[in-house]
Chain A
Amino acid sequence: MRNLIKMDVYRMFHTKSLYIIWIILGAMIVFSTFMTKLDYEALQEPQQETTQEVTGETEASEQINVGMNVELPTKPGEKLTVFDEMYSNIQAKFVALFLVIFAVIYATADLTSGYIKNISGMIPRREYMVFSKAVALGIYTFLSFLYYMLVQTIAVYGFFGYLRWGKVEPMFTYLTVQFVLHYAFLLICMGIAIVLRNNTFSMAISICLTMNFAAILYGLLDKLFAKMGIKDFQTITHTVTGKIALLSMHPARKECLASLLIAVLFGGVATAVTGYVFKTRDI
């Protein structure tokens, strides 16, 4: 298993798409920060004009939008913090979008190239190949978060000319929970890619999940639950993508635990199912 992980990590760092995606992610962070600077400047304009806008944004932040919607939590008159920027980008699944693209490419690369035929017969427990990919993706998620935080910090400093971190403890808690949620989401996307064995389909499904297109399905499920007598049940709040979007800036302990539980449950089940399918399937 250790050698398998070494092999998968080596392959990950020799995958061109990893660096391409990081470069694009970096460029998009810079662009997004520039756009939020414009938003931020608009918020600082005379009170009467901005009041309506702020009210609108407050309403919007309480529901999940289909697509990507980056909204600053900074209130008029307040100084923008790095945490504000990170929160707005992460909850909009800006980071998740780039991570899942790589996860799908990486998870299927050995299948599409045929390299898997060179090794899978020699491995006593084939499901370990899925588990080692999961470990590699964990490293990738961690490094991507570090990279994101670094670029985001530089971009904020570059555009705003100052650095304010915001409250450090909630920021650390928020980023830690989001890291776990993102990792779980990547494991789900990896599972989809390996089970479907089709890059196009897997990529489309993963991006749709990131963009909350599944919210339509969740809405139907909610109605079904309501008909069954389960009132006020919101499926989306029990999903990984829902948790990524809805985790508050200053999450309470209970909220953190619930998010971590969802992440471990979905990520664990996705990896286990993928491992089982991969083990029993012909190559």
Chain B
Amino acid sequence: MQEILLQTTNLTKQFGRHRAVDQVNLHIKKGSIYGFIGRNGAGKTTCLKMISGLSKPSSGEITLFGYTGKDLKKVRSRVGCLIEAPGLYGNMSAYENIKLKCKLFGIVKESYIQNILELVGLEQTGNKKTKQFSLGMKQRLGIGLALVGEPDLLILDEPINGLDPQGIAEMRDMIQKLNEEHNMTILISSHILEELSKIATDYGIIHNGVLVQELTREELLQRCRERIEITMEHPEQALPVLDGMKIKNYQVVDKEHIHVFERLNDSAIMNMELAKAGCLVKGISMKSEELENYFLNLTGGEQNA
């Protein structure tokens, strides 16, 4: 079993009467890219702010690298974050912005700053002030700043917001590179599941401050796969029939549904065989789900999105 790098236990944040984050239990494995999905206002940023130490939880606990409570201070420097918009000094260059944070870590090597700039693709910006940067460049510099001190956990809050398709692709490549080459665990939030699905290895879906589901990439793909969905009252009666048809890749989802993932063109035969065996089939149909729909179904439907 993979080591859990970050875990939250009943993490809650209350603003007056409004509960922005409600007893969230996250489990983030070392080396994973954890996609934290939720619509605007779902509580993602509040949750990430608490994890990164920018705000205090109203209740609940955060365990980071095995440390919790007051001991968290010992490992806070191992967490780099880019929360909301990148915080930059507009009158300084990219180099100076990074140098400033290097001062905090006592890093004096000039090549260190240059390496970070190269890593985020900003080595050619020279003395250009960051106020003249495009949004994509600012986002990359924000990540560059988060990388100072070589954190083991990188928290990125909606890093692809406002980026054009090329910018999104570049950002994706950079995140994958950091994860693979630098062995960095990455917690990335977004409301665009489609984009996250290209890089994330694990997912947490949050809605109205509540963590609705936590699942791996495999589990998510499984749930969104094309399948035959059989609706019947006693699914267990169908199992010998399916086994008899040498169908192995199926799943009893609940008390009324079976999902079959193979022989997708044989739904009529399946129906006939089930009828022969005396199984009362209420419905049999082909189903597949877009990732986005899956997310919308979990978080209250398209009409609210």
Contacts and interface: CB of A to CB of B under 8 A. Distances in A.
B269 interface: no
A108 to B, nearest CB: 13
Interface string B82-102: 111111111110001101110
Max chain B CB contacts within 10 Å: which of A10, A113, A122, A125? A122
B104 A4 contact: yes
Interface of B: 49, 52-56, 73-74, 76-77, 79, 81-92, 96-97, 99-101, 103-106, 142, 145-146, 149
Contact of B104 (A7, A14, A109, A124): A7
A3 B105 contact: yes
Nearest to B99: A10
Interface in A1-59: 3-4, 6-7, 10-11, 14-16
Max chain A CB contacts within 10 Å: which of B54, B56, B82, B100? B100
Interface string A111-151: 00111111111111100000000000000000000000000
A10 B84 contact: no
A283 interface: yes
A6 B101 CA distance: 10
A121 B78 CA distance: 10
Given A3-B103, A10-B99, A14-B92, A118 B87 contact: yes
Name the interface size band of chain A: 20 to 34
Given A121-B53, A122-B76, A283-B54, A6 B81 contact: no
A125 B54 CA distance: 12
29 contacts: A3-B105, A7-B104, A10-B99, A10-B100, A10-B103, A14-B91, A110-B87, A113-B88, A114-B84, A114-B87, A114-B88, A115-B87, A115-B88, A115-B89, A115-B97, A117-B54, A117-B83, A117-B87, A118-B82, A118-B142, A118-B145, A119-B101, A121-B52, A121-B81, A122-B53, A280-B56, A282-B55, A282-B56, A283-B55
Contact of B91 (A15, A116, A117, A124): A15
Contacts of B104: 3-4, 7, 119, 122-123
A3 B84 CA distance: 26
B41 to A, nearest CB: 17
Nearest to B52: A121
Contact of A7 (B85, B100, B149): B100
A280 B54 CA distance: 10
Contacts of B56: 280, 282
A281 to B, nearest CB: 9
Contacts of A123: 76, 104
B53 A109 contact: no
Nearest to A125: B73
Contact of A11 (B53, B89, B142): B89
A110 B54 CA distance: 14
